[in-house]
Amino acid sequence: MIAAGVRVGALQAGLPLDPLENRILLCHALGLSRVGLITQSEREISAAEASALEALIERRLGGEPIAYIVGKREFFGLDFRVTDAVLIPRPDTELLVELALDRLPPGGRALDMGTGSGAIAVAIAHTRPDASVSALDVSEAALAVARSNAAAHGAAVRFMHSDWYGAVAGEVFELIVSNPPYIADGDIHLSQGDLRFEPSGALTDHADGLSALRTIIAGAPAHLVRQGWLLMEHGYDQAAAVRQLLAEQGFSEVQSWLDLAGIERVTGGRTR
Ligand code: GLN
């Protein structure tokens, strides 16, 4: 029970989460920035603020991801709005953005398949205003979040409601990127931590974990220019299988890259 009248500075130390999460929720409940929390440390909290903070802490103690509670997460140096209609952007996915930026030629066309919050597409478009960035998702609710993120960052992204390549028939791109659902049906991780609260359609293919990756790889040659790149994020144990699928489709320069934890996390290849 958080009491009204407690000073902001004294309150912070007494909250039950880890220090970073305590601070994030305190800032959110009081509408303060990190600096505001320090400059207003002598302020006493009101009854309304106490109950608002208590409600946020209860949600976190119930396991809800902090990004959903505060409605945002930083990715590639940009704040992204997130709701439970979209996967929470992960730092590992910044690797995919960096690899894409290195390979997108000036004025190039990029396609992000299964954009979710729009994190990948918006990060690319924000960094490279010269590029034509398109992004698709099968979820209208996700597209609404993605559109608001593009607008917030002034990123020109063309969004499409599409079941994989459905909406881009006849179009070609210099680069295709995707962080598709790649967790196998029934994987233990789906019942742990933040994943319990994220949209299952963004996490799992409800099959062996490779079915979305297979669909993306099979359709890519028809949607890439010559020497175009396909880059995909995948699970910790899927790199060899994804390289094999790319090789079978005739891709060249097939290779995998390591994430921050040293795990093969992104695999890609180039059309001939
Ligand atoms: N990287 C996420 C996780 O394992 C999964 C994201 C995805 O399926 N694309 O937490």
Specify the ligand 1 atom closest to the Cα of 234: 9
Ligand 1 in contact with 179 (CB < 6 A)?
yes
CA angle 111, 201, 248 (to 5 degrees): 55
On whether both 25 and 95 belong to a single domain, the answer is no
CATH code of the domain containing 116: 3.40.50.150
* Whether 98 and 165 share a structural domain: yes
Q: Whole domain around residue 22: which residue ranges?
A: 8-62
- CA–CA distance, 233 with 253 (Å, rounded to integer): 16
Could you tell me if 83 and 68 are in contact, meaning their C-beta atoms sit under 8 angstroms apart? yes
Residue with CA closest to ligand 1 atom 6:
203
pLDDT of residue 25: 96
pTM metric for this prediction: 0.95
**pLDDT at residue 13, rounded to an integer:** 82
Q: Is 108 found in the same domain as 23?
A: no
Answer yes or no: do 82 and 201 share one domain: yes
CB 124 within 8 A of CB 100: yes
Residue-level pLDDT at 39: 94
Same domain, 200 and 136: yes
Let me know whether 106 and 174 are in one domain.
yes
CA–CA distance, 20 with 26 (Å, rounded to integer): 10
* 113 beta partners: 136, 178
Ligand 1 contact via 108 beta carbon (within 6 Å)? no
Cα dihedral 245, 160, 139, 241, rounded to 10, equals 10
**For residue 114, which atom of ligand 1 is closest to its CA?**
9
Same-domain status, 123 and 181: yes
Is 15 inside a domain boundary? yes
Of 82, 88, 96, 179, the residue with max ligand 1 atoms within 8 A of its CB, to mutate for a pocket test, comes to: 179
Give mean pLDDT in consecutive 10-residue pieces for the chain, a chain of 272 residues.
Answer: 90 90 95 93 94 96 97 97 98 98 98 98 98 98 98 98 97 98 98 98 98 98 98 98 98 97 97 97
Q: Does residue 213 share a domain with residue 182?
A: yes
Position in ligand 1 atom list of the atom nearest CA 189: 4
Model pLDDT, residue 189: 97
What is the DSSP secondary-structure string of 97-152? Answer: HHHHHHHPPTT-EEEEES-TTSHHHHHHHHH-TTSEEEEEES-HHHHHHHHHHHHH
Domain co-membership, 95 together with 39: no
What is the whole-number distance in angstroms between the Cα of residue 182 and the centre of ligand 1? Answer: 7
Torsion of CA 197, 198, 201, 203, to 10 degrees: -110
CB of 120 closer than 6 angstroms to any ligand 1 atom: no
37 with 153, same domain: the answer is no
Query: Which value, in Å, is the radius of gyration of the alpha carbons in the chain?
Result: 21
The answer to whether the CB of 96 is under 6 A from ligand 1 is no
* Residue linked to tokens 């929470």: 88
Q: Looking at the structure, do residues 243 and 125 belong to the same domain, yes or no?
A: yes
Give the Å distance between the CA of 146 and the centre of ligand 1.
Answer: 18
Ligand 1 nearest-atom number relative to CA 181: 8
Residue 256 within a domain: yes
Cα(225)–Cα(190) distance, integer angstroms: 37
